[in-house]
Chain A
Amino acid sequence: MRRLRVIALIAIIVVAGIQFIPFKRNVSKEIPSSDFILHYDPTEEVSDVLKTSCYNCHSNNTIYPWYSKIQPIGLYLEGHIDKGKENLNFSEFGTYSARRQKNKLTSMIDQIKEDRMPLPAYTFIHHDAKLSVEDKKEVTGFLESLKDSISFN
């Protein structure tokens, strides 16, 4: 019984302690010229969908929810954002090679059409990030036309 109390106490101290460790935040004040929306100037509808449903994990600027300040939740989110940006970073899209841009567009279109993105775990909490049938049509239509306009070789 006493041992349990000690363990509980240690756990509380650890959880309380990690609240004070400063973790990096994915926030940047500037929008670079390589930014996808800035560069390709899609319609407002498409821009809104991208910002609401994609940019939080796939750009250099995350709009954080309040609970992200609580650890280890914040840490978990940061892991997702890192991985998301590694695979696709809208802020840096303009710096990708034409080959990589085209392949990324292909993957985006497939993943949106097949409801693999945005992640179900994300839309479960962020209801507004869920894509309607119209949203999907609008966005994939734009991505398709962009994809067709890019050629390499």
Chain B
Amino acid sequence: MKQIISVFTFSAILFTACTGSSNKTDEQTAANMDMQHAEEGQLHENGEAMHQHDQEMGNAMEHDMDSTMIIVQDSKSTALVLDAYLKIKNALVEDDDKAAARAGKDLVNAFDNIDESSVSPEKMGELKDIVDDARENADHISESQGNIEHQREHFDMLSTDVNDMISIAGADRSLYRIFCPMYNNHEGAYWLSESRDIKNPFFGSKMSDCGEVSSKIVVE
């Protein structure tokens, strides 16, 4: 019993970890109190609390399952771009500006593999805009070794570009689009990941578990 409750307490803390507001401590205190009650054997009260937690957890999981599914066409042409993009993402998760800069350089080169004329004529112009913008962002990341916050600013814009790019040019793998509500002074930002595990590239080790899956991108 105690173990179960600790798990819920832990998850309650996890849930609040992202909000970063003052009610964080309140909720944590409440969760701690639940545990105390359990230790005192007040099962009735605690049972109710647990029921509530149960529902919250259930909702959260449902929400996760319900995250929108986005289907993109199967294409090998974006594979190298995605490899390099994910390498940058993982470097930023690890707070490694040098590795991010190296991967940024790979990404600049990888964009040469995107053939803009391979998509429908009405999408061609848009794809070109996306690739030009993304290449510039990758270039900034590669040149900003020693300034990881600047790399992250460009990674934010780059993530939008890569997301929009695969919606036109396709992908060779499933991806998750994850939302961090806190980045950009709480304006929020998205990133793409190869897995649904939350490892935040915008904050790195400072707040690695901030974020939630907003959609799953599936290859047709």
Chain A residues close to B by CB (< 8 Å): 97-100, 103, 106-107, 110, 152-153
Contacts and interface: CB of A to CB of B under 8 A. Distances in A.
B34 interface: no
Given A103-B157, A106-B157, A110-B153, A97 B164 contact: no
Interface in B122-176: 129-130, 132-133, 136-137, 153, 157, 161, 164
B49 to A, nearest CB: 43
21 contacts: A97-B129, A97-B132, A97-B133, A98-B129, A99-B129, A99-B130, A99-B133, A99-B161, A100-B129, A100-B132, A100-B133, A100-B136, A103-B133, A103-B137, A103-B157, A106-B153, A106-B157, A107-B153, A110-B153, A152-B129, A153-B164
A120 to B, nearest CB: 15
A110 B189 CA distance: 15
Contacts of B129: 97-100, 152
**Could you tell me the dominant secondary structure of chain B's interface residues?**
helix
Size range of the interface on B? 10 to 19
A100 B133 CA distance: 6
Given A97-B132, A100-B136, A153-B164, 4 more contacts: A100-B129, A103-B133, A103-B137, A106-B157
A152 B157 CA distance: 13
B148 to A, nearest CB: 15
Contacts of B153: 106-107, 110
A88 to B, nearest CB: 11
Nearest to B156: A106
A100 B161 CA distance: 10
What 7 pairs between A and B have smallest CB-CB spacing? Answer: A97-B129, A103-B157, A99-B133, A100-B133, A99-B129, A103-B133, A110-B153
A136 to B, nearest CB: 16
A106 B164 CA distance: 18
Contacts of A152: 129
